[in-house]
Amino acid sequence: MEIYVVKQGDTLYQIANRYGVSVDKIIMDNELTDAENLVVGQTIVILNNQTTHTVVSGDTLFKISQMYNVNLQDLVRANPQITNPFNLKIGSIVNIPQAAKREIEVNGYCFVNIDDDVLEKTLPSLTYLSIFSYEVLPDGNLVNIRNDGRLIEKARDSRVAPMMVITNIENNSTFSSELAHQILTNSVAQANLIRNVVATMEQKNYYGVDIDFEYLYPEDRVAYNNFLAAMAAAVRSLGFILTTAVAPKYSRNQQGILYEAHDYQAHGSIVDHVIIMTYEWGYTYSPPMAVAPAGEVRKVLEYAVTEIPSQKIFMGMPNYGYDWNIPFVEGTAATTISNTGAVDLARRVGSFIQYNEVQQSPYFNYWTNNQQHEVWFDDARSVEARLKFVNDFNLGGVSYWTINRYFPQNWLVLNAMFNVKKLI
C-alpha cells in the first residue's frame, strides 16, 4: 500500500503510471467521485503488490527498515541489487518486503437505518457489529429497537458477531446521569435489566452485549463496577461476551463527570473488551481542531495499558469531521461532515487540503456568504497514523463510531495493515 498526496497539476493518469496500476483500479479502490478534478492535498491509496522507497539524503537500510517496520535482514534479501548497503545512492529504489500482518478484532457501531450497500461493503472488515442502542428504563426494562433483526441476520451471514448495545440515553435524546443512578442504586431494577438483556440476546441471536453508560455521577463509580460484575457473571454463564465503552482518560483520578465513574482497572478485570472512545477532542462546541489528535490519543493509550490488559483494549476511531465557522465564538455549533464529503466540499469551494503534522490530521479553510470556515476530518494519512498505535501498544483491536457513512480509504488502509479476525 502507498498513500499518495495530490500535488498541483497532478492527474490520475500520471499517478497511476507512476505506481504501475490502472486508473480504473485507483478509481474503484478509492471510490473517487470526481476523478477528473483532484483536490490538491487529497490522499489517494494505491494498492500494489510491491512497496518501494526512493532513497533521500541520510537514508540507510537500517533507517528504512525502521520506517517501514520490517526486519533488516529481510530488507537486505529483498534488494540484491544493492551491492553496498552502507552507501545508498540518492534517488535509487529500495524494495520493501511485505511484513506479516497481525490479526486484530474490529468493532463497528451502527444505527438501524444504515444503508444496505454500506453495511454489505463494511461487514467483511468487521469482527463485531454493535447495533445502537437499547435504552434502559429506571425499572430495568428496555426500549426495544425495531428492525435490528435484519442487521443481526446480515452480520451473521458475513461471519460478523452482532452485539447488543445498552445505554443510559433517555427519551432518544441525551445520556442521563440520573437515569443511570436509578439503575445502579436499585438492586431490583438491576436484576430486571440483566434478565431483559439476557432474554433479548437469546431471542434475537446476539453474540454479546456492550454497555455504553456515559456521564455517570462520580459517586456511582463503585456501583457501576458492581453492576458490570453482575452482568458479566450472568452473560458469561450463557456463553455471551461483555464489552464496555469508556471515556478517554489520561490518569486514574481525572476529574469530570465524563471520567470519574469509568474505572479502567475494574473494567479491564471484569469485561472481555474495553472500547476507549478516543475521539471528540474537536467536537460540536469546541474550537476548530482534529477530532482525534494523534498525540492526545497516544497519551490516553499510554495510561490505559497500565490499567487494562492491552489485548482487551479497542482504540476508538471516529468516522466523521466537523465544519466550524471562524473566528470561533464560544457556544456556536460546528456542522458534522463525512470524510469523503469534506474532500468533495474542498473541491467545490476550490480549497487546498493541508495537513497538520502535530495533530496528524488534514484540514482546510474556505469562505461562503462572507463567512470563513475551517474543516477538520480524516484521510488515509491520519487513519494510518493512529492505526500504527495498535502495534505500538499491542492492542486487541479498534472500534469505529460509526460505520453508517462509508469511508473507502479507511478500509483500504486497515486491511493493508491488518487481518481482521472472524469469530463465527
* Backbone conformation region of residue 180, classed left if phi is above 0, alpha if psi is from -120 to 50, else beta: alpha
Contact 274, 300 (CB under 8 A): no
Residues contacting residue 117 through CB under 8 Å, at least 6 positions apart: 406
**Cell numbers at residue 270, please?**
471484569
Instruction: Note if the bond before 287 is cis, omega within 30 degrees.
Output: no
374 has catalytic annotation = no
**Which 8-state DSSP code applies to residue 166?**
E
Which of 2, 105, 135, 214 is labelled catalytic? 214
Query: Which residues are catalytic, by number?
Result: 214
